[in-house]
Amino acid sequence: MLEYLARRVLVMIPTLLVISALVFIIIQLPPGDYFTTYMNELQSRGESIDKAKIEFIKKQYGFDKSMLEQYFAWVVGMLHGDFGYSFEYSQPVSDVVGDRLLLSFIISFTTIIFTWVVAFPIGVYSAVRQYSLGDYSLTFLGFLGLATPNFLLALVLQWLAFSTFGTSIGGLMDPQYIAAGWSLDKMLSILEHLWVPVLVIGTSGTAGMIRRLRANLLDELNKQYYVTAKAKGLPPGRALVKYPLRMALNPFIADIGNLLPEIISGAAIVSIVLSLPTTGPMLLNALQSQDMYLAGSFLMCLATLTVIGTLLSDLALAALDPRIRLSGGASR
Amino acid sequence: MSPALLCTAIASLVIAFTPHCVNAKSYIEPPTLAADVAAGKLPPVGQRLPETPYIRPMNLANQSIGRHGGAMKMFMARPKDIRLMVVYGYARLAGYNRDLDIVPDILRDLEIEDGRKFTLHLRPGHKWSDGVPFTTEDFRYYWEDVANHDMLSPTGPPAALRVDGKPPAVTIIDDVTIRFEWDNPNPAFLPALAGARPLYVYRPAHYLRKYHARYKDTAKLNAKAKKKGQRNWAALHNKLDHQYKNKNIRLPSLQPWVNTTKGPSEQYVFKRNPYYHKVDPDGRQLPYIDQVVFGIASSNIIPAKVGTGQADLQARYLRFDNFTFLKRNEKKSGFNTRLWRTGKGAHMALFPNLNTNDPVWRKLLRDVRFRRAISLAVNRHELNRVIYFGLALEAQNTVLPGSPLFRDKYQKSWAKYDIAEANRQLDSIGLEKRDDRGIRLLPDGRPLDIIVESTGESTEEADVLELIQDSWALIGAKLHTKPTQREVMRNRIYAGETVMSISSGLENGLPTADMDPEDLAPTSQVQYQWPKWGQRHETMGNMGEAIDMPEPKRLKVLHKKWLRATSTDARRTIWHEMLKIHADQVYSIGLISGVLQPIVVRNTLKNVPVKAIYTWLPCAQFGMYEPDSFWFTDTSPPKKQATYR
């Protein structure tokens, strides 16, 4: 087990290095850089800025160095916890991202809980009562959630929330709490705004989860051990929870690998439509304005979380699913 | 005269003058500052104001004397938009008034000799927002320690301070008088000071000196800079010293409202500057409004937020197509929506690229008959009706009716929809041959496929082009739209790969004769009709191509003459000649102009003009309309909005 763990961790290093190089190259691929984008934007609004001044600023930020040097400076900096400098905010990247992470985390976490709470019972129900009226109607609802474009649902719900409850449009809290410290009222205001994004992001995830759980459970329900258990007189509820459900939990655990990065990038489009102060819109803006260190650090963060998440879910699966063995070796 | 009579005469004189000269006793303290004054944290208002404050006459139509208080909420899409507070605040050394004249503002007085010798008189007793006196030392610091410091400004003083590459002689006469003197006239100087993004020729010396190597230990400063993630002290100094970007909350300011929020944040609060130099006729220190709040929200959601009554004043990020939505919500949300005309020469114009690489196309585009023909074949009335509800102006890309240089004939030149005449013009060039689709053929046999490149950022451009496509088909020209990314499009234009592009027209549609006509002459690469000639000018002849057409050559000569002209009359004559050449030669095909900008104003907010022009130059969007004189009739904090069904 330890040897396996060590091997996996060691493999992560070259993986992340390759990812960092790719990220850096891809961000640099579009024509121009942050400063040309910035200049164009200013000009398109009628402002102008001295070209010589831009050259000077570029030099100050090390744009005169070669790509390779810039890349190494960035990677080495990241190892020290220095994620570079955001041009857009003219602040170090770590300062910029700071408080947005918390709100992103709140939203993503609530959404995940929401998805599980909804998907789990429905998935079990529709597997046990396969092809019943309930199965069909719940599945239909799930698919509806999957099929409705998120941004549309977000707009509609947002308007409904405003016109029926008077919830202010956009953002995650009423404006007067933005600068205020944490208080009960602020929490309530956040709760008041939170349900729209949670519902919107949640609905799309729910359907997938329901279907996977249903399919896995159906596989198990037809197996002999379950039939035997029931035939021996085990109460149906207990029989279900004790054996097939545990098998069917596999996808939930395997999902952890995807959940971690989602906490950061989660539902960028919905966040943009709802103007949420989370990290998703920030990442998009950074990519659009070619704010390369901010975007690069974000993407690196996502990559790291994905790699770690995959490792965690593999480990959890190995621990929880008796069918997976680490010591088996290749079967051929 | 008897003593009694004399007394009465003096008394009446005093009475006659009181509205204009308010004495120190009668200045009115803003209530929000009263507590600080009582506690001794701030000196009373009479000591905070300069000896002779700027008195806003408040005598324009629909302008009324207001009262202190309130917070004005606006929305911005990005944290860096906080620079707009400097634009809206619009405290300039000298700024535009509503007649578009440049008048002293922060300055008490301004003397100009021969357009080359500028003597600036500051207001004695004027103070920065932290209470430190604002004197010529702040100008000296800028000139000697910033503009001419090889680490802070390696390229030397900015272009507006140079005439023929030569910097001015700067003489400090005393604490409140300073002179800038050039050998030749510098017409760019005052407009640069008055700009929406102004040229700052002064710095808060007392604050910045702490970060300058001339005054502090370089090694220590460099260490401090490293700690803040900057390369060296110069980078740190430049970062802290950005009056326009408005990010450094410790940087003293002269603006009516100063930033108090250190980013990043969802909301930026700008509080009143207790040392602001303006008062109203009753002696109330301006601004009336205590604070301005910028909420940051994504640009797509701002119209919705505004429509639900969350903003007190908003124009940015509202588009004309939001108008009906806003109008519908007026009553419920307690605001009214005004329509101001935008001030660009043309909201949209087509730019034939006279520097295009393809020789056949280049020859054709340079033929004035061709440019006139495609202009005649644009049905501007239809564009106006279909897309702008008939509210825009059907005009060429030229100055707008609000400008003193406006002439009807410039606007109407080759702008009438006349297919028959357009066809005659094209026939006379020798494009008679057509293919079986009815498309004319170029001299080398290719069909007349005109590819118009657009940035693809707005569907509006695509809609307009689609309408033009129909009318151009009638003259045997096929229009193709090619949306690309802005940078890509620019690079293609610069390289001459584009035949035609669509963009907005003259940046300043409201020029006076004293404003630089550089947009009309080939002076910049961003002029899509002659990028290579513009590049030639920008790079001082190192890159680009020499102008090889007589009229653009003439425009260049005229622009040079304008820069040398010493009188407004001479400048006006030059302006008109340049405008006439443009009207006649149709270097850009103006499609529509004076498009309307919705302005949302809370019902309780007073002194916002009902009709005005919304533009960056020269109006600084709201800046010229004196936001420091806006006031709320009801200053109680907003309640949570009532729900409605």
Asked whether the whole model's pTM tops 0.95, one would answer: no
A275 inside domain: yes
A126 inside domain: yes
Q: Given the DSSP bridges, would you call strands B71-76 and B291-296 parallel, antiparallel or unpaired?
A: parallel
Q: Answer for the pair B534, B353: CB distance below 8 angstroms, yes or no.
A: no
Residues in Cβ contact with B140 at an 8 Å cutoff, skipping those fewer than 6 apart: B170, B172, B178, B205
DSSP notation for B6-69: HHHHHHHHHHHHTTT---GGG-B--HHHHHHHHTTSS--HHHHS-SS-EE----STT-------
pLDDT class of A46 with cuts at 50, 70, 90: low
Instruction: Nearest by CB to A60, from B159, B235, B344: name it.
Output: B235
Q: What pLDDT is attached to residue B25?
A: 54
Give the integer Cα–Cα distance in Å for A107 and B241. Answer: 38
Q: Is A91 on the interface with B (CB under 8 A)?
A: yes
Instruction: Nearest by CB to B297, from A36, A164, A171: name it.
Output: A171
Handedness of CA B98, B100, B105, B106 (dihedral sign): positive
The residue to which tokens 């090390």 are assigned:
A62
Which range has the worst mean pLDDT, A24-38, A247-261, B13-27?
A: B13-27
Q: Answer for the pair A197, A267: CB distance below 8 angstroms, yes or no.
A: yes
**Spans of all domains in chain B:** 348-592
A108 inside domain: yes
pLDDT class of A8 with cuts at 50, 70, 90: confident
Residue A90 structure tokens: 């003219």
8-state DSSP, B81: G
Q: Is A116 on the interface with B (CB under 8 A)?
A: no
Q: What pLDDT is attached to residue B73?
A: 94
A209 inside domain: yes
DSSP notation for B270-299: EEE-TT--EE-TT-BBSPSSSEEEEEE--T
- Which CA distances in Å does B260 have to B257, B268, B367, B560? 9, 7, 57, 45
Tally of structural domains, chain A: 1
Examine the pLDDT at A101 and tell me if it is beyond 80. Answer: no
DSSP notation for A9-39: HHHHHHHHHHHHHHHHHHHH-SSS-HHHHHH
Give the integer Cα–Cα distance in Å for B312 and B74. Answer: 6
Give the integer Cα–Cα distance in Å for B524 and B531. Answer: 7
pLDDT class of A54 with cuts at 50, 70, 90: confident
pLDDT class of A94 with cuts at 50, 70, 90: confident
Q: What pLDDT is attached to residue B644?
A: 38
User: Which CATH number does B348-592 carry?
Assistant: 3.10.105.10
* Residue ranges, chain B, pLDDT below 70: 1-25, 635-645
A177 inside domain: yes
Reported ipTM: the value is 0.77
A21 inside domain: no
Name every chain A residue with its beta carbon within 8 A of the beta carbon of B231: 60, 62
Give the integer Cα–Cα distance in Å for B318 and B621. Answer: 13
Name every chain B residue with its beta carbon within 8 A of the beta carbon of A85: 229
Give the integer Cα–Cα distance in Å for B237 and B409. Answer: 52
Q: If you measure CA to CA, which chain B residue comes closest to A159?
A: B304
Q: What pLDDT is attached to residue B299?
A: 82
Residue B476, by phi and psi: left (phi above 0), alpha (psi -120 to 50) or beta?
left
B196–A47 C-beta distance less than 8 A: yes
Tell me which residue of B457, B448, B441, B539 sits closest to B490, measured CA to CA. B457
Q: Which helix (H) or strand (E) holds B74?
A: strand B71-76
What residues make up the domain containing A133? 97-280
B261–A272 C-beta distance less than 8 A: no
Q: If you measure CA to CA, which chain A residue comes closest to B294?
A: A175
Which domain CATH number covers A207? 1.10.3720
A31–B300 C-beta distance less than 8 A: no
Q: Which residues pair with B120 in a beta bridge?
A: B110, B178
Q: If you measure CA to CA, which chain A residue comes closest to B506?
A: A46
3-state SS assignment for residue A249: coil
Name every chain A residue with its beta carbon within 8 A of the beta carbon of B244: none
Q: Greatest CA span in chain B, whole angstroms?
A: 102
Q: If you measure CA to CA, which chain B residue comes closest to A280?
A: B298
Name every chain A residue with its beta carbon within 8 A of the beta carbon of B266: 171, 178, 277
Tell me how close the Cα of B264 comes to any Cα of chain A, in angstroms.
6
Q: Is A80 on the interface with B (CB under 8 A)?
A: no
3-state SS assignment for residue B561: helix
A313 inside domain: no
Examine the pLDDT at A186 and tell me if it is beyond 80. Answer: yes
Which range has the worst mean pLDDT, A45-49, A317-321, B289-293, B368-372?
A: A45-49
DSSP notation for B110-123: EEEETTTEEEEEPP
Handedness of CA B252, B253, B258, B263 (dihedral sign): negative
Q: What pLDDT is attached to residue A266?
A: 58
